[in-house]
């Protein structure tokens, strides 16, 4: 089981970013965690009716209006949360990552506005956080498949897709996917994408061609990646496709009506200098559902705290 005790949800106090807050509140309640709400206030910020009601010393008034729709009066009193305000943060993405390290956060939950053209050249705040966060990041998008009830706040996960390339990062993504599947009795879909039809990818090239086709070999490897006990409590589906990884991941998620994509990424996996970015960049921009970017918890960020 994954251990989530401290969740960070960045917000600009708008109704759009509050969509991520709905997920953060649901997960905080489900795991008995503590929620940290973070607002990076710029000097030109003018949030209607709220910007003047809180400060870095007393941030609570800023966040109560955002939290209230997701909690009834009884739950609000018992809900464990803390508001954080950063005044005139230079780079919002860097500020979010810094606060995640300071407060030993286990999961960041945030909203992406999905501006594909700008993100290609500049990188969105969500993508910046996913590249450098000291913990996993759950990114929600507009117009996506939802799995947290609007009125009930209940988590309703049916299908989880794990993109697996046999790397350490994708093993971490699989761990998160399996843990969530066990918690909510969801189906796990494990997908590997071959770069060229009929050819092994570099990490699989050591296998003799006589062992069978690439599809057969990879299918066997995927089956071995899932712990035997997992088959006792959830339905596991293995799939191998050929093509561009991001395109196939997004296409599969749409075809299977996936509720959550889990994908691994390390800092070195992101290529800022390339016009079209990495596989994870593309999945973040195009996914039809929330995306969990699995990153290991960076204990170095929290030493001495």
Do 159-290 and 6-145 have the same topology in CATH?
yes
Among the listed ranges 9-23, 53-67, 234-248, which one has the minimum average pLDDT value?
Answer: 53-67
Was domain 159-290 assigned CATH 3.40.50.620? Answer: yes
Winning range, highest mean pLDDT, from 23-32, 47-56, 70-79, 108-117: 23-32
pLDDT of residue 91: 85
Phi, psi (degrees; rounded to nearest 5) at 147: -135, 15
CA atoms within 13 A on the CB side of 254: 11
pTM, 2 dp: 0.84
Question: Which residues, in sequence order, are bridge partners of residue 236?
Answer: 188
263 has pLDDT over 50: yes
**39-73: per-residue pLDDT in tens?**
988 765 544 433 334 555 566 777 888 888 888 75
Tell me which residue of 95, 96, 65, 79 sits closest to 27, measured CA to CA.
79
Give the CA dihedral 284, 290, 294, 298, nearest 10 degrees: 90
Categorise residue 97: left if φ over 0, alpha if ψ from -120 to 50, beta otherwise. Answer: alpha
Q: For residue 233, what pLDDT band results from cuts at 50, 70 and 90?
A: confident
Per CATH, the architecture of 6-145 is what? 3-Layer(aba) Sandwich (3.40)
What sections of the chain are H helices per DSSP?
18-31, 60-67, 73-78, 92-102, 116-122, 125-132, 168-184, 214-225, 230-233, 245-255, 279-286
Domain ranges for the chain: 6-145, 159-290
Q: What percent of the chain has pLDDT over 90?
A: 42
């Amino acid at each position: 089981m994954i251990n989530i005790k401290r969740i960070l949800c960045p917000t600009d106090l708008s109704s759009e970013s509050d969509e991520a807050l709905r997920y953060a509140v649901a997960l905080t309640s489900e795991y008995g965690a503590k929620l940290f709400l973070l607002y990076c206030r710029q000097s030109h910020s003018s949030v209607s009716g709220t910007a003047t009601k809180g400060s870095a010393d007393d941030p609570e008034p800023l966040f109560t209006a955002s939290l209230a729709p997701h909690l009834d009066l009884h739950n609000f009193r018992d809900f464990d949360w803390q508001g954080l305000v950063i005044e005139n943060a230079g780079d919002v993405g860097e500020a979010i990552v810094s606060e995640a390290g300071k407060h030993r956060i286990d999961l960041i939950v945030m909203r992406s506005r999905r501006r594909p053209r700008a993100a290609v050249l500049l990188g969105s705040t969500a993508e910046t956080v996913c590249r450098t966060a000291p913990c996993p990041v759950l990114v929600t998008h507009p117009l996506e498949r939802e799995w947290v009830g609007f009125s009930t706040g209940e988590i309703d996960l049916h299908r989880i897709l794990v993109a697996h390339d046999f790397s350490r990062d994708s093993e971490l993504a699989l761990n998160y996917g399996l843990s969530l599947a066990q918690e909510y009795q969801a189906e796990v879909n494990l997908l590997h994408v071959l770069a060229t039809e009929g050819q092994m990818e570099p990490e699989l090239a050591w296998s003799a061609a006589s062992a069978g086709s690439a599809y057969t070999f990879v299918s066997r490897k995927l089956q071995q990646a899932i712990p035997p006990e997992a088959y006792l409590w959830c339905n596991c589906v293995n799939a191998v496709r050929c093509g561009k990884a991001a395109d196939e991941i997004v296409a599969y998620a749409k075809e299977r009506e996936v509720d959550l994509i889990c994908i691994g990424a390390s800092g070195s996996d992101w290529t800022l200098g390339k016009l079209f970015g990495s596989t994870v960049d593309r999945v973040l921009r195009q996914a039809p559902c929330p995306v969990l970017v699995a990153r290991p918890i960076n204990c170095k960020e929290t030493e001495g705290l």
